[in-house]
A and B are shown apart, each in its own frame.
Chain A
Amino acid sequence: MVFTEDQKREIDELLSTSLDQSVTVIYFTQDEPSMELPVQVEVTPCEYCKDTEDMLKELTGISDKLNIEVYDFIKDKDKVEQYEIEGVPALALVGDKDYGIRYYGIPSGYEFSALLDGLINVSKRQTKLSDSTRKALADIQEPVHIRVFVTPT
């Protein structure tokens, strides 16, 4: 149990009134380093992978509109490449298509609210940006890669 019953109820209340279409959380984790690995392969242990996975499974279990797919950062090379994953724990929020949304780390504190917000926007397949911003963004032809660095508060 990651969330208390009260927290679950609160999340359920928010999601049941805000979600529209389905969203898949594509989650990347890493197994504990096994003895079978050749010695020359250096694997950095993933401190928060298990906690993040437990949390995401419980979260996506709250609503029928939320799904989760779990992949391994070392073993599922094709998925790591497809989603251009740079480390673990990592998650992508995917609707009818991949919107290019990734979160790296355990989403706690303020970042948990940001995750819920992301789930809701992807579920609605629309953002809350102003018309003028949306128009200006649509005009961009070149690739843009935004990286935002945060810490939990």
Chain B
Amino acid sequence: MAYQMAMENDKIKADVFEASEFPDISMRYSVMAVPKTVINERTSVEGAVPETSLLEEIRHAVGM
């Protein structure tokens, strides 16, 4: 889902991390449970995020 969002706008980047292989990065973003989605270092959501919710989180993160 995040990948598709990235395809729609060049300003959007989407990284998926296998959390156990990247403990340092996971710790930096306080990953306690997966899946966890972090947007622009600020907004974060735990659990699966449906399309409309992810869009709202992105809009929220950029102040829209």
Contacts and interface: CB of A to CB of B under 8 A. Distances in A.
Interface string A16-52: 0000000000000000000000000000000110000
A137 B59 CA distance: 8
Interface residues of A, number: 47
A101 B3 contact: yes
Contact of B37 (A127, A136, A147): A147
A105 B18 contact: yes
Contacts of A61: none
Interface residues of B, number: 43
A103 interface: yes
Contacts of B21: 47-48, 89, 104-106
Interface string B2-37: 111111111111111111111001100101001111
A136 B41 CA distance: 21
Contact of B6 (A47, A101, A151): A101
A75 interface: no
A97 B63 CA distance: 28
A29 to B, nearest CB: 13
Contacts of A1: none
B31 A121 contact: no
Contacts of B19: 149-151
B47 to A, nearest CB: 11
Interface of A: 47-48, 84, 86-87, 89, 93, 97, 99-107, 111, 114, 117-118, 121-122, 126-130, 133-134, 136-152
